[in-house]
Structure 1
Amino acid sequence: MGAVLKLICHDCGTANRVPADKLDAGPKCGTCGARLADGRVREIDFATLQKAVKGDDVPLLVDFWAAWCGPCRMMAPQFAKAAQALAPRVRLAKVDTQANPDATVRYDIRGIPLLILFHRGREVARLSGARPAADIEAFVRSHVGETA
């Protein structure tokens, strides 16, 4: 039997085990049925973020943002475009810093938009400021290699 990846569902927070060779087949959460690696950006809360950072075997890129932030809103379509390009080898999520102030404190966020790349339970790198999709993709690939 091949390698098995653990993915936290960004919709319900459940841990799922997915055969690595089936990641491209569009796996779904065993609890809620949500797609786990479909290239869509998911809005997650601090609790789900904590689970995903600790539990995911696939790199996770998180956009820390707020609705009142103009550059954050401008970057949203670019972040979504990067999510499509990086899927299913990297998952992208957004955390609203205003609705989740614990995330701001925990990750020492001093300005937004801020992208933090997590892999294997730890923070790998940060990228601040609004960026085009190509820059986001290059940033991820430079830190996780051919996985992405």
Structure 2
Amino acid sequence: VINFYTFFYIMYYLIRIASKLLVSSNLNQNQKYFPGVLPIYFIIYEYEIAGNEISLDLRKKSLFSKTDIIYKNQSVLNTEEMIFFQKGVELCSENYYFAKWTLLPIFIRNNGKFAIRFFFLEPMMHRRAMNIQFDFDILTKQLIRIKRSYGRIQ
């Protein structure tokens, strides 16, 4: 005899699997699906890197309502900044803990410094996510600081 809770979990996971299959089958090559707590809510991350131009789009979607834009950006990096971006991706992939997660890069340009803040999308909750920031000195082309934190995607 199957009790109510077992039936609820079976139905929950069946709906979750069906929604993932339905949504994932319609995604492009450069899009990624992240499920929400409820099976009808999910997040779609879209990225495109073409030359020195990086386009990012993070949207919260539902099977029954309209799309909510969490983050959208299009950045054009010069050659030096693109090298810093590649170094940041390499530094993230060297660490086993960070290498598994999907990265959302945000670029910060300050006086003589170029910072890349990588947000990790898998543990994201309520538009907040864990991130790691790499600060580079533009003149010396050296890594100045690595800062880990948790905060709002912006």
**What TM-score do you get using the length of structure 1 for normalisation?**
0.35
RCO higher in structure (CA 8 A, sep ≥6): 1
Answer with 1 or 2: which has the greater Rg: 2
Which of the pair is proportionally richer in strand? 2
